[in-house]
Amino acid sequence: MATADTLRVATFNTDLSRKGPGLLLRDILAGTDAQINAVLAQITNARPDVIILQGIDYDMQNLALAALAQEADYPHHFSAPPNAGRMTAYDMDGDGNTGGPGDAQSYGHFYGQGSMALLSKYPVLLHDVQDHSEMLWQNLPHALSPETDGLPYPSAKARAVQRLSSHGHWVIPIDHPTLGPVTILAYHAAPPVFDGPEDRNGKRNHDETAFWSHYLDGAFGPSPEARFILMGGANLDPDRGEGRSIAMRNLLNDPRLQDPLPGQPTVTFAQTGPMRVDYVLPSADWKVADAKVVMADPTASRHSLVWVDLTR
């Protein structure tokens, strides 16, 4: 169990997304939804001080997140406008049509579907938050832009507006009472599947993880040198699956990071079997006191909650 001199951080893909806007808030407030109650049980049993959630629907006033935070007993929470369901005027998925869920900045039947959020026992230093979610994909160094016959896929116009983040890339400082400022690097990448020979989703997934290597190199301004934790849903196993795994292997081998749970799967998909796609990677200056991949509760989510205890 975490103590006053220990920070327990966690990531959890909750699979809480609903079929329409407002439905998640409705179900949280009802208090009778079996899945929501199972997700809350997973969180309260793990007792993380800070947790990044994926698969939670965003609304402009963060009403669903505030309701969930109250049920889970977290006084502080954070979310930012995501790219999921943010509609564009272009055919972004190459199906010849516009206005569909694949024509948003990231796939979504409505704005904010299946996005991410943070719950914290400690204050979020809101004025110091960095949100890189608006960065264009083509502006990432060495971006793996999808092409067909040497031309931008699905079009030059689509490439010109396409953002990198499927949900978000956040840098969130937390004010811990004894450890001082702690920086959370959070993201949720698109699955590297459901595309064609151009490998649009595979390349995007790769680059969403590669973003952090460039970020730590200072490509987007000063990055924290100590007391940070990179965590979230990468949708990328370092060894298995269709994804371009080199991006994750590069992160896991980065001397600025440490891997407390090497080789431990965090989800089991029917098509692929066990895979490691959810990560908590502390900076190298932390001391890891304990770490665990919690056994998944299928009533809650396909994914396991992953937590790590950190000390000075």
Q: Say what the pTM is.
A: 0.96
Task: Work out how many domains the chain is built from and give that number.
Answer: 1
Alpha helices in 186-277 (DSSP H): 200-216, 246-252
* CA distance linking residue 156 with residue 153, whole number of Å: 7
Q: Which amino acid is at 53?
A: L
Q: At what angle do helices 23-30 and 63-72 cross, to 10 degrees?
A: 30
In a domain, 241, yes or no: yes
Contact 285/273 with Cβ under 8 angstroms? Answer: no
Which is higher by pLDDT, 5 or 156? 156
In a domain, 139, yes or no: yes
Q: Looking up tokens 């953002």, which residue turns up?
A: 163
Q: Please work out, in degrees rounded to the nearest 5, the angle formed at the alpha carbon of residue 137 by the alpha carbons of 136 and 138.
A: 90
So what's the pLDDT on residue 271?
A: 87
In a domain, 2, yes or no: no
Domain region containing 300: 7-311
* CA distance linking residue 201 with residue 193, whole number of Å: 6
pLDDT tens digits for range 92-142 = 999 999 999 999 999 999 999 999 999 999 999 999 999 999 999 999 999
pLDDT tens digits for range 164-181 = 999 999 999 999 999 999
Q: What's the whole-number mean pLDDT along residues 58-64?
A: 97
Q: Is the pLDDT of residue 2 over 90?
A: no
In a domain, 1, yes or no: no
pLDDT tens digits for range 197-230 = 999 999 999 999 999 999 999 999 999 999 999 9
In a domain, 32, yes or no: yes
So what's the pLDDT on residue 106?
A: 98
Task: With CA atoms as reference, report the closest residue to 23 among 107, 86, 113, 104.
Answer: 113
In a domain, 246, yes or no: yes
Bridge partners of 176, per DSSP, are 180
So what's the pLDDT on residue 3?
A: 57
In a domain, 281, yes or no: yes
Question: Which tokens belong to 262?
Answer: 């090497």
pLDDT tens digits for range 242-299 = 999 999 999 999 999 999 999 999 999 988 999 999 999 999 999 999 999 999 999 9
Question: Which tokens belong to 265?
Answer: 């799967």
In a domain, 70, yes or no: yes
CATH number for 149: 3.60.10.10
